[in-house]
Structure 1
């Protein structure tokens, strides 16, 4: 536990049993029936399994005591038996007392983000501005504070080549205000000192997460010369501001468009404020979905689109070519039973698993193994009714964390203990604190989920129907002055000013080797993009053919699941650096035409 923990007041009861959750529910007068039902479901999960022990006995163990004494067990057998006899942990490993202590300490998102960023190599003093976009839903605040030059801002931390072999680099944390009421984006940047900014990389996180989850990528990706990195918290998530999320449209298509625009309009406004003409956009999961939506609505500003395990590509669940898991194995339940180290990194045999990691609140699938064309293929099972009910009622997993109050950290530990099980304990603890500090914030952007995705993480407007339009949209007039950041990118824009439509951009789809997201959907998207390029070239002018830059490919990251940027961060960073170098070469090539 980091920092100072305030003593618990006499009125705070340390929960000694899951039954205390009933009194917690009664203490929430505003909770609806659906809300109470949701927390009651988690109450059942939070009841630790009864301790039990199994012994794996060999045939020799069934012999007489004299015979057994002459057949000593191998060391590996003793370890296996000890593991089998060890009590099995409950769904939520964090104890009730520790959960209440964490809830009362209330580590702020700023402090939690700062602690995560402290693990970035060569970043000795992580810059962390203290202006989080919203306050949590209850009043207890942490007494912790960061030792900084100013209470409201963090100056860039500069390192030199003596202690930074890939620098010097400047790191900066900032809250960028946008137009309108309570609209601002949390931003973390890395810039190479003494070099011109030729290219820009913008990184978008997944559903309910924050830019801090990219802590293993900022240093590795900022080694590429001429690049400036921007990590952003999407509007209504992370440490960005959390304005009320409202949808006014009546029809489904209008609701989907309005929900998408809520995020991508904020990204476009941020781009204009930063005077960035063109950039490379990386989006993970829901961030990948929004990256595609941005590319379609705001053409002419992307040099490359990189989608890391994007959500929402398949046409429908049956297009996934896999059997639906049993209801008790799907969605949120699986979130608390899958272990990252055992199920993704290594299994008990030391070999990679080939099933899914399911480490995402959006999960509803295990593996693409069944073939519907085969007569013996297992038919898909429906989404559990309780999940569909909560989903349609727009009750998010984070709502449950907030309603649970002192039990919130315990519920979150069910996810973080498994999601980060392959990391060192201190990093895992920092990420747990960071996740809980974000999950407990006032609900905002998370409520867009039900408008964008149907139960089971399948898009209501699948990207497979739209992705072929990426890089093929009509070009609007230039909206920026020549002062735009990124000289080579601006040269490309100026050289191609006679074009009336986009001439394609490279699209890279990245998946983990054991990703629960639909990899087949990625290959289908690749095929659609290539077919659209062939079609465009058939009617292209000579000028358009000269600037044609469309391409698509799928990359698989080894020993990684859905969070491939974290599970397989070394290979992920290597692949990303290669893509960044390629983008630099392309920009110089087209600027010389």
Structure 2
């Protein structure tokens, strides 16, 4: 792969030396790629100097996470209302692997009554991490609720061991086993648990209910879930993109090969994605996603086992026995979502026929990252589920 590194660095030196203006906010689109000659037609707002500075501390993921969470009023110290939070690493095996968790307590009373409190578990999607829920943490803290945001095994600031699964079943077990251990170690009471999961995280939580524990939570909120059904419309996949996908070569590989230009490369996405946030949050989120994007590959290699090139599912949830899950379901999509809401409707109808509660909602002014695109409405809906507990 050395030739890829040399070619990329040469390109970056020639084309990314300017610091252009930040483009306007842009929602996520399907991972279907673009022609190679347009791949770098983007703008990359971060300066070379800033990119080099980020590269120097690229391996300190916890520092990126700490600086991001420090934009919250209740981290690392409690706020005036008594809300407090902390980052912990929960051991999950004898090899010193752990799940990274950010936990929030609304007050000292709830912290002491942990076992009898209600628990909101927040699970991110593919290639992401708990920090992307930054605009939700403050809104969902309320009396008698402990909030747990976790990095899935092999993602974010969780352990990133070599990815060893060689089949779909082993891939699911990789995530399910680590999640089950985390639930047990953290003593999450199943009937007092509301799990909110996004994209591929939602798929993994639903399959956890099917394969491992049908009663692992009382309610499961599936936010723009991936792997449910094919796209609304057929999509054209460039041949080169299909070959890269099948070989598990992802955009994260590109960032790693970009050396000290990696943070600048990421800014082509992050500065538009977070452009509507205050400067302190936007900068901290950019550094955070750069940190987790360039970190050693691990859990990301699950992608080709679950999705075909272009992100149609290899094992659609609509073809699996989702009615085995005994929790209440909610399926939330953005109105401009590239995920197909029909998949949620099909699963929801099947759940209702089996006597389970299941609803489907499309959220206005939002795309795939519903929790960020329209955080106000998303937070209102989630808080409503918590208050009606």
Q: Same fold (TM over 0.5)?
A: yes
| Aligned equivalent of 1:361 | none
The counterpart of 1:300, out of the listed 206, 210, 215, is: 215
**Alignment partner of 1:235 is 2:57:** no
| Aligned equivalent of 1:276 | 188
Q: Distance in 2 between matches of 1:274 and 1:463?
A: 28
1:396/1:42 Cα in 2 relative to 1: closer, same or farther (>3 Å)? Answer: farther
Aligned residues of 1:107 and 1:433 also touching (Cα < 8 A): no
Aligned residues of 1:47 and 1:90 also touching (Cα < 8 A): no
| Aligned equivalent of 1:524 | 346
1:187/1:300 Cα in 2 relative to 1: closer, same or farther (>3 Å)? Answer: same
| Aligned equivalent of 1:384 | 238
After superposition, give the CA deviation of every residue in 1:407-437 in whole Å (9 maximum; x if it has no partner): 1112111110121122122211111100111
Q: How far did 1:106 drift?
A: 3.4
1:46/1:567 Cα in 2 relative to 1: closer, same or farther (>3 Å)? Answer: farther
Aligned residues of 2:71 and 2:280 also touching (Cα < 8 A): no
Aligned residues of 1:282 and 1:291 also touching (Cα < 8 A): no
After superposition, give the CA deviation of every residue in 1:191-213 in whole Å (9 maximum; x if it has no partner): 23214443111111111211111
Q: How far did 1:243 drift?
A: 0.9
Q: Distance in 2 between matches of 1:103 and 1:49?
A: 16
Q: Distance in 2 between matches of 1:408 and 1:44?
A: 9
1:226/1:111 Cα in 2 relative to 1: closer, same or farther (>3 Å)? Answer: same
Aligned residues of 2:8 and 2:257 also touching (Cα < 8 A): no
Aligned residues of 1:109 and 1:437 also touching (Cα < 8 A): yes
RMSD between superposed Cα atoms in Å: 2.6
Q: TM-score, normalised by structure 1?
A: 0.57
Aligned residues of 1:514 and 1:560 also touching (Cα < 8 A): yes
| Aligned equivalent of 1:62 | none
Q: Which has the larger radius of gyration?
A: 1
| Aligned equivalent of 1:80 | none
| Aligned equivalent of 2:168 | 256
Aligned residues of 1:112 and 1:437 also touching (Cα < 8 A): yes
The counterpart of 2:370, out of the listed 548, 561, 564, is: 564
1:220/1:93 Cα in 2 relative to 1: closer, same or farther (>3 Å)? Answer: same
Number of aligned pairs?
Answer: 360
Q: How far did 1:32 drift?
A: 6.4
How do 1:198-209 and structure 2 match up within 5 A? Answer: 198-209=117-128
How do 1:33-44 and structure 2 match up within 5 A? Answer: 40=8, 43=11
After superposition, give the CA deviation of every residue in 1:266-311 in whole Å (9 maximum; x if it has no partner): 0101111122230221111111111111111222221011111111
SS in structure 2 of the partner of residue 291 of structure 1: helix
The counterpart of 1:93, out of the listed 45, 53, 56, is: 45
Aligned residues of 1:46 and 1:91 also touching (Cα < 8 A): no
Q: Distance in 2 between matches of 1:510 and 1:432?
A: 26
After superposition, give the CA deviation of every residue in 1:219-249 in whole Å (9 maximum; x if it has no partner): 21112x221111101111100011110124x
Which has a greater percent of helix? 2
Q: How far did 1:40 drift?
A: 4.9
Aligned residues of 2:215 and 2:327 also touching (Cα < 8 A): no
| Aligned equivalent of 1:158 | 78
**Alignment partner of 1:469 is 2:336:** no
Aligned residues of 1:48 and 1:90 also touching (Cα < 8 A): no
Q: Distance in 1 between matches of 2:15 and 2:343?
A: 38
SS in structure 2 of the partner of residue 217 of structure 1: helix
| Aligned equivalent of 1:514 | 336
Question: Which structure has more RCO (C-alpha within 8 Å, separation ≥ 6)?
Answer: 2
Which consecutive residues of structure 2, in runs of 5 or more, have no partner in the other structure?
Answer: 19-40
Q: Distance in 1 between matches of 2:270 and 2:97?
A: 29
**Alignment partner of 1:115 is 2:67:** yes
Q: Distance in 2 between matches of 1:459 and 1:419?
A: 25
Aligned residues of 1:260 and 1:452 also touching (Cα < 8 A): no
SS in structure 2 of the partner of residue 158 of structure 1: coil
